[in-house]
Chain A
Amino acid sequence: MVARPRRLLVIPLGVKSNPAKKLARPMANAYLTGDKEVRPHAPASRAVIAAEARPARVLWPWDPGPPMRLLIIEDDHDAADYLTKAFREVGHVADRAFDGEEGLALALDTPYDVLIVDRMLPKLDGLNLIGQLRAKGVTTPALILSALGQVDDRVKGLRAGSDDYLSKPYAFSELLARVEVLARRRGGRGEDTVYRVGDLELDRLSHRVSRAEAEIVLQPREFRLLEYLMKHAGQVVTRTMLLENVWDYHFDPQTNVIDVHISRLRSKIDKGFARPLLHTVRGAGYMIRDGAR
């Protein structure tokens, strides 16, 4: 097991965390709500606009997972600085490399949780770098950042051995959500046959869902949506991640179709229960967790 760096005071927030400790991050929690989105400082008029259009973005509006050690391989110093700072603020440790060769050497040397690799790098191209790592048996999850966002570029990236692909420009919340999911995937709950969050239960083999012992009937797509959310319970999943992983679409559907699917699912699993499980994370996405303790 890799020793987790603890340079910053971070309160990991999982199912077993002490509720009292959460008070240490009141701001972050303020964004986590049930059915309605609540904005701590927004004026009323902005809230109305936000309800119609996409919710505006706020950086890391959720409690981060356990601290991760990340490697950012990016030749643009400004971008690398911004990412390093942003990751540190949410309690992760980020190292930097400014070219492909340096990045490769670091990635071979140090057991990182996730690599964030720019596609176009001096000395050694991002795809090559990941290819060489994989050839040497290094399985550290890698996410490619690229200005090329087209479908076949993404396919090329994934074929080269990367685990996720995010095109520039991106919101930090989107990157953070994806990185946390990637980091957790190692030794995560991917192989469990039954997912449980609070009193909600999903059986992946019999395709049954129940809450508080009462069976819930879901459409196949709703089942897959819930399955994905529960697989990443306690983690934020963005709308794009849902669209990519549940529907296998990589385009921008303009209108927020995902929100409607979520609210349908929510009405099936949360309606009539005092503790909501499916939360909207303002400006980022959704999270399922037993949070009302």
Chain B
Amino acid sequence: MTALGKLIRTTTFKLTLVYLSIFALFAIFLLGYFTWNTQRLINQQITETVDAEISGFAEQFRQGGIRKLVQSVDSHSRRATSSLYLVTTFSGETLGGNVSSLSPGVLDNVGWAETLYRRPDEGESTEGRALVRVVQLPGGFRLLVGRDLEEERRLRAIILEAGRWLIGLVIVLGLAGGIFATRRVLKRVDAMTETTKAIMAGDLSGRLAISGTGDELDRLATHLNTMFDRIELLMRGLKEVSDNIAHDLKTPLTRLQNRCEEALRHTQNEAGYRATLEATIEESEGLIRTFNALLMIARAESGQARDNMVAVDASEIARGVGELYEPLADDKGLELIVEAPAPALVNGNRELISQALANLVDNAIKYARQEPHALNGERAQIKVSANQRGDRIELAVADHGPGIPESDRRRVVERFVRLERSRSEPGSGLGLSLASAVAHLHHGELQLLDNAPGLKATLTLPRAPLALPAESSAPERSPNPVPVTL
């Protein structure tokens, strides 16, 4: 597209053209009205003067007959004015006046007429257009009185000339202004396009320039920049995640391959092969579970599951999950108690919130027993609770295990992060990531707090009915928050 074509296609330019046409039409209308009105006024003036003169002449005629009339006409004619006078007999013979010739047939009709005329002025004759009135006098005489129209013509010419200039000026100035404004906007839009092209090409650090005038383009640029910030953050997160995934999935895959190769090299009997195959299936099951957890996290983070949210009772969820895990806790010598006194409605997905809470309870059971508490023979406690605090619902799992050091609390929520002492436990390192993703999906958050001793993991969710916030729940990244909020 040529530069001109681009310019013509812009919205600003099209708007300029529309305004320009409207103003030009208005100017033409105004001028037309002015011309028409002026002409009317002039004609009216002429008519009145002529009528007055004719009645004057008629008076003369009545008093002194044709002689007196001719005398009067002649004396009028000698004055150098733009008036025309003529007196003729019934046969058309000129008796007096200052007209030497007229358009043919003008004198035959009584009344108003526009005519070309010629008058003999001291040798040279002048020609022009005139508005005349012819009256019939008694005795067949005819009297013509008229006024030259040169003045009117000149006035119209002046107005027309002015009109041409005016319209020309409107168009030239309008177009110039339009092109100027359009080019200014176009330049900024082009700059934006260039920046976004660079960003699309992979340089995520680029940002749109902001002129500082606070106009609509600035506002657009600010919003787009916020969007680019978010995209950059997400992309960086994604890259980190895919690096982690690559590492954490390669490990079991390598183990799997090694085991199969070893079986091929050394195994002699069917039982040996069977054992290897079973171990392989087990390993691949673990991989599938990890994949499912990753997919679930990705899904929760993308916000797709928001469509199917209904009001669910967090207390019900706490009781359900508590009931599911109570025998397991009991088996491990722990006491699991549920505190969910009143219904606490959350707008959400029961399945996902249950799974998030189940992950927290699962963690508590896994780690709480590692440090056997000498509680005078009492069993260590895990408390699952659902409470309403203002417009938030808190689903909490509190244990008296070793807890998580403050410095690690933010890290453990990331995918595949497992602390040193939990390496010996089975698990994928995805449980807290999923819980956090589910919390974000519900516009809430996962907090890891000190239970002194132990860990209190809290899912804070907005109470139903949920007024959806305009901004999506972007993770707040404060430098060193206590408690860690993710």
Contacts and interface: CB of A to CB of B under 8 A. Distances in A.
A247 B320 contact: yes
A257 B325 contact: yes
A43 B272 CA distance: 8
B472 interface: no
A42 B327 contact: no
B328 A249 contact: no
A57 B351 CA distance: 27
Contacts of A149: 292, 295
B282 A54 contact: yes
A82 interface: no
Given A54-B285, A169-B288, A251-B351, A43 B275 contact: yes
Contacts of B323: 221
Interface stretch (B352-360, B400-408, B410-418, B441-449): B352-360
Contacts of A56: 278-279, 281-282
Nearest to A56: B278
B305 interface: yes
A254 interface: yes
A11 to B, nearest CB: 25
B117 to A, nearest CB: 96
Contacts of A152: 305, 307-308
Interface string A212-256: 000000000100000000000000000000000001011111110
B281 A151 contact: no
DSSP majority for the A interface?
loop
Contacts of B431: 254
A56 B289 CA distance: 15
B327 A151 contact: no
Contacts of A250: 351
Contacts of B351: 151, 249-251
A269 to B, nearest CB: 15
Contacts of A18: none
A251 B362 CA distance: 13
**On chain A, which size bracket covers the interface?**
20 to 34
B94 to A, nearest CB: 108
Interface string A253-267: 111010011001000
Contacts of A57: 278, 281, 285
Contact of A253 (B295, B324, B352): B324
A85 interface: no
A251 B355 contact: yes
B451 interface: no
Nearest to B270: A41
Contacts of A41: 270-271, 274
Interface in A161-189: 169
B279 A46 contact: yes
Given A46-B278, A251-B358, A257 B271 contact: no
A254 B307 contact: no
B129 interface: no
Contact of B299 (A150, A169, A221, A264): A150
Contacts of A260: 327-328, 330-331
A9 B270 CA distance: 27
A25 to B, nearest CB: 19
Contacts of B278: 42, 46, 56-58
B58 interface: no
B469 interface: no
B20 interface: no
A257 B275 CA distance: 25
A250 B350 CA distance: 11
B325 A252 contact: no
Contact of B327 (A58, A247, A249, A264): A264
Interface centre among A43, A57, A169, A253 (most CB of B within 10 A): A253
B296 interface: yes
B292 A253 contact: no
Nearest to A247: B324
Interface in B259-317: 270-272, 274-275, 278-279, 281-282, 285, 288-289, 292-293, 295-296, 299, 305, 307-308
Interface of A: 41-43, 46, 49, 53-54, 56-58, 149-152, 155, 169, 221, 247, 249-255, 257, 260-261, 264
18 contacts: A42-B275, A43-B275, A56-B281, A56-B282, A57-B281, A149-B295, A151-B308, A151-B351, A151-B352, A155-B308, A250-B351, A251-B354, A252-B293, A253-B362, A254-B359, A254-B431, A255-B365, A255-B426
Interface of B: 270-272, 274-275, 278-279, 281-282, 285, 288-289, 292-293, 295-296, 299, 305, 307-308, 320, 323-325, 327-328, 330-331, 349, 351-352, 354-355, 358-359, 362, 365-366, 426-428, 431
Given A46-B279, A49-B279, A255-B362, 17 more contacts: A41-B271, A42-B271, A42-B274, A53-B282, A151-B308, A151-B351, A152-B305, A152-B308, A251-B296, A251-B354, A251-B358, A253-B358, A254-B359, A254-B362, A257-B328, A261-B324, A261-B327
